[in-house]
Chain A
């Protein structure tokens, strides 16, 4: 376990050296600042009297501030889930290929660290990095909305943790693919494809209903079964952020299934890693 943490910490130090943190946090800060200047919420006696985003009206009539906040949080959580997954899939695409770069991998393998520890440590490092970014973004949004409405809620932070679970599944696929094709571009592309497939898997029943009954429909239905339900996770994340009711069992199953998928992808990567010669 200690070795695993060491690899993760090493990755974080490497990211810091490459000013990766600066870019990530700078980017998130910039988004928060733009939102802070463009979002206008006038709360009078607990009711939202006026609201604008980039000058466009958000709510036509006077609504309670808590209801408006719930709506804004819902929208923000959806945008953050998909936007965050898209951004991170691209931004983190070169960590795993970097691990396997000539010179570096030989050096790492000469250390008393098992291959699977290298793999899982790298994964853990990237997840820590993204967790920090997601936490920073969610906390920033919470403060921004709190200051603008006077209502403080921690649900955006909770919702963002579900977003992290979703990204964990995406990144597991990206890491796995790297051990078959060492390319940051392919890794990123596969991550984005998994995001799309994960959304499709969430609408498995609806999607298959669009197809004519037969072998193609059955195969499509079964092929989507093991994929993480990223669309459903986005909805869970948004509903948590908006303080809307959720079925506990459904959420647990979605999160657990996503976790199992991630570990399965890492196990596949470990199998491949064990068979590679350097």
Chain B
């Protein structure tokens, strides 16, 4: 009798499970339609074999053959092969250094749109083209190192700005001083491969001297081990704080107090995939910052969702804060899907053209 009642009891359990599922299904129909899952974006989290090959190919023995005062070749063991662009990074960064693999970016799927966005309405481009210089082809990398700009590539055909004074500086370099009144700094071209723009002539000369190893070598703030992704570099807390200052002053202060910087890697060729490794000054406080950033993203996502900004909410769905390296550091990840990037860049191009048209109209009047 008991066995029979126990067998019968299973019907109640099965019925309960069935009703629970049915109830859940019925109530799901009362909810607003679910948001589609966010698209998968590949993030630059490590160096690929192709990127490793690129890094090795860029290592150069510098200088080629230094001369002494008598014009004789000084014989000394060749220094370690280094990447000329990265060798210009100062030992102590003030705000940060970021390198963009411009050639790879311009020749990617989003490259032409990105180029148009950056150059829409720029009249100087036609004069560059007349001289045989095509930025899409001849520029390899552009780096911003604190206040210095460095551009690498095939610069043989790069024309100096009109009215500039060009003078040789050593066996491999020349100095280009733009006419007074222009906003351009003094430029230096090294080996027709590197263009450096310092704040003044002394700074530009110092950079060229570093390339020629006339000065005691300095250890750059970072080396080519982080040279992966299409944009990479290091941002110092001062710069990060300035970025967050207007949005959340408390977050800015926490950033200044707890971090030593952020190592950035980004891919922009197809989707925008962004990875930032934050290194900690104080692990306990950095964890506080990690949680604050996580809450910041979650709240922004919630607000976007409540305001019906589905696209913004979907973008924030791709942003996350991952706990990191055990030394208190953590990783920030973000992404923008290809379709959104295309639409953003297309509107950037339109805006640029409109601005150029307005400028042209104003000039004609």
Contact = CB atoms under 8 A, between A and B. Distances in A.
A250 B33 CA distance: 12
A267 interface: yes
A142 B184 CA distance: 79
A260 B28 contact: no
Interface stretch (B11-19, B172-180, B209-217, B253-261): B11-19
A261 B27 CA distance: 10
B305 A209 contact: yes
A261 B5 CA distance: 24
B29 A253 contact: yes
A145 interface: no
A268 B27 contact: no
Contacts of B31: 204-205
A212 interface: yes
Given A226-B24, A260-B23, A264-B23, A205 B30 contact: no
B9 A275 contact: yes
B320 A254 contact: no
A121 to B, nearest CB: 16
A56 B301 CA distance: 37
A229 B317 CA distance: 25
Contact of B19 (A116, A228, A264): A264
Interface in B20-46: 20-24, 26-32, 34-35, 38
A42 B149 CA distance: 74
Contact of A267 (B8, B15, B21, B28): B15
Nearest to B8: A274
A258 B18 CA distance: 14
A232 interface: yes
Contacts of A206: 302, 305-306
Nearest to A236: B30
A225 B22 CA distance: 10
B320 to A, nearest CB: 5
Contact of A264 (B20, B305, B321): B20
Closest CB pairs A-B (n = 9)? A260-B23, A257-B27, A271-B12, A264-B19, A274-B9, A267-B16, A226-B24, A253-B30, A268-B16
A257 B26 contact: yes
Nearest to B322: A212
Given A213-B38, A226-B20, A274-B12, A257 B6 contact: no
A265 interface: yes
B338 interface: no
Interface in A30-85: none
B40 to A, nearest CB: 11
A111 interface: no
B303 to A, nearest CB: 10
A186 interface: no
For chain A, give the interface size range: 20 to 34
A105 interface: no
A232 B29 CA distance: 13
Contacts of A116: 12
16 contacts: A206-B305, A209-B305, A210-B299, A212-B320, A225-B24, A229-B30, A249-B30, A256-B23, A258-B27, A259-B23, A260-B23, A264-B16, A271-B12, A271-B13, A271-B16, A274-B6
A174 interface: no
Contacts of B16: 264-265, 267-268, 271
Contacts of A263: 19
A213 B317 contact: yes
A211 interface: yes
Contact of B21 (A226, A232, A259): A226
B19 A270 contact: no
A210 B302 contact: yes
A225 B12 contact: no
B313 interface: yes
A70 B317 CA distance: 39
A31 B34 CA distance: 42
Interface string A97-119: 00000000000000000001000
A212 B24 CA distance: 24
A123 B34 CA distance: 35
Contacts of A210: 298-299, 301-302
B24 A209 contact: no
A226 B12 CA distance: 17
B135 interface: no
Interface string A243-254: 000000110011
A271 B10 contact: yes
A260 B30 contact: no
Nearest to B304: A209
A73 to B, nearest CB: 23
Given A209-B305, A210-B301, A274-B12, A254 B27 contact: yes
A275 B6 contact: yes
A238 to B, nearest CB: 16
B27 A229 contact: yes
Contact of A261 (B20, B28, B301, B306): B20
A259 B10 CA distance: 21
Contacts of B29: 249, 253
Given A205-B35, A265-B16, 8 more contacts: A205-B32, A213-B38, A225-B28, A229-B27, A254-B30, A260-B23, A270-B12, A274-B8
A260 B16 CA distance: 9
A213 B317 CA distance: 7
A9 B299 CA distance: 52
B294 A212 contact: yes
